[in-house]
Structure 1
């Protein structure tokens, strides 16, 4: 109880950091608007890529365009929200290399929230809105037989997916505590994971699918929830209830990321500069 009271008392400080970032980034309005619009491009390209594939084929991994777009929408909404919220944790490498992290650690605030709020990329908000819009359009086009359970799953899945991707961002960024030049490795799992979840798992095979879809949990971000929403059996053989339980993968992912972060902070040694 005392810990939660302490955290609530620190909330105004975090809000002040957020307001400061918002004012700073919005001070040059034209540049801010251009950044907002241009940031939609990355998500739009993911959608366009899938649509282009369906110009030359009627099915992708056994799924038609409408079904595949549900997976694209779930993935896009989840990743864009995570990228907005924690994507800038990648600045950790610069903070560790330069010693700026020392100043963050001595403040009476959590190190991770500070890193996120001191440089929150509000320009990515348009990408998050676009990702949510893609999901809504895909669900409407799929003409699903809506039930209370499907409504809950449709809302919960992108939120859980955002937590999952946020965990990947934090865990891979934490490698900087041991290996400063780990940026490319981190991108392979964050942006690579986004690309992986954009397509049905049936287009992958062998150890690659086993490692990423099941071992790391990427298959439960969009593919299995999409099967549950669409009312389709899994061509890969898992039972139908997996789709309904899939959002639960966010819980262990968040716990692992938190553990890696805490271990990294304890491992950190000041540069002395």
Structure 2
């Protein structure tokens, strides 16, 4: 058992190392187009300001959103958007997996001595995705400055844990739904809708969707653990669903579970892949 665990850990380190090598190569290539990267970053910064303005307009007509202040909603928005932006930066190219399958571009990938996931996640990798981090970081910084929270050591420690766990949950979701494209390559729109819908759901208090959907996204799906559950503790708010306080600290466990499910789904997708290329 210990030998098997050690072997899996070694393989994981190798795959992460190969992923970093391929990403580094993409960055070196993109270094020739610095002006393009700068312009994309500026566009993302403008988008951040527009989103902040939109949220401010909403609160200009409403005193709160289901009892949450502007700063608190900004905190939820920023932590969710940051987690999903980090996940997309790492595995964003999986959006094109359906196209690769239909064009037969995945066939040579399967015979290379490199993880299929590592190759698929770095095909058409664009360093410009870094620009997408500007928006959530800006929103999160503004909301943190405006929050009226007593920052205990536990709350301070929980913040990076929440973002890290949320990123892994978002990453697991992206990989799991992308695995469907191995057998249904025309489902790219549906896959993108699931990812975007999940990201949108975590940007606001889950109670705006009603009790049953909020319960579904907590008990059945891990969406609530991207930021909602840990945020309730940081914001010193009770759970509207009445779940025990220990639930606020389950995000790391949910992240591990999400990645395990995603890995199983991906392996199943690879096994059931049938070439459609010419």
Q: Same fold per TM (> 0.5)?
A: yes
The answer (yes or no) to whether the contact 2:207–2:240 under 8 Å persists in 1 is yes
1:137 has 2:145 as partner: no
Aligned pair partner of 1:52 in 41, 51, 57 = 57
**TM-score of the aligned structures, taking structure 2 as reference length:** 0.88
Q: What is the CA-CA distance between 1:222 and the residue it aligns to?
A: 1.7
Note the 1:117-266 alignment, pairs <5 A: 117-205=122-210, 207-266=212-271
Aligned pair partner of 2:87 in 77, 82, 88 = 82
Partner of 1:93 in structure 2?
98
The answer (yes or no) to whether the contact 1:233–1:239 under 8 Å persists in 2 is no
Q: What is the CA-CA distance between 1:12 and the residue it aligns to?
A: 5.9
1:271 has 2:273 as partner: no
1:120-171 CA-to-partner distances (Å, cap 9, x unmatched) read: 2211212224323422332232142122211111011011111111111111
The answer (yes or no) to whether the contact 2:18–2:118 under 8 Å persists in 1 is no
Rounded to whole Å, the distance in 2 between the matches of 1:26 and 1:77 is: 24
1:69 has 2:74 as partner: yes
Rounded to whole Å, the distance in 1 between the matches of 2:178 and 2:138 is: 29
Rounded to whole Å, the distance in 2 between the matches of 1:182 and 1:254 is: 22
The answer (yes or no) to whether the contact 1:39–1:124 under 8 Å persists in 2 is no
Aligned pair partner of 1:24 in 25, 29, 34 = 29
Which is further off, 97-106 or 121-130?
Answer: 121-130
RMSD (Å), alpha carbons: 2.2
The answer (yes or no) to whether the contact 2:178–2:191 under 8 Å persists in 1 is yes
Q: What is the CA-CA distance between 1:54 and the residue it aligns to?
A: 0.6
> In structure 2, the residue corresponding to 1:54 is in which secondary structure?
helix
Q: What is the CA-CA distance between 1:272 and the residue it aligns to?
A: 5.6
Rounded to whole Å, the distance in 2 between the matches of 1:10 and 1:165 is: 19
Distance 1:43 1:96, change over 3 A: farther
**Number of residues of Structure 1 aligned to a counterpart in Structure 2:** 273
Rounded to whole Å, the distance in 2 between the matches of 1:171 and 1:42 is: 29
The answer (yes or no) to whether the contact 1:171–1:260 under 8 Å persists in 2 is yes
Distance 1:13 1:239, change over 3 A: closer
Rounded to whole Å, the distance in 1 between the matches of 2:8 and 2:259 is: 20
Which is further off, 35-44 or 131-140?
Answer: 35-44
Rounded to whole Å, the distance in 2 between the matches of 1:188 and 1:228 is: 30
1:50-103 CA-to-partner distances (Å, cap 9, x unmatched) read: 222111101101111122222112112111111111122111111111111111
Distance 1:262 1:47, change over 3 A: farther
The answer (yes or no) to whether the contact 2:102–2:277 under 8 Å persists in 1 is no
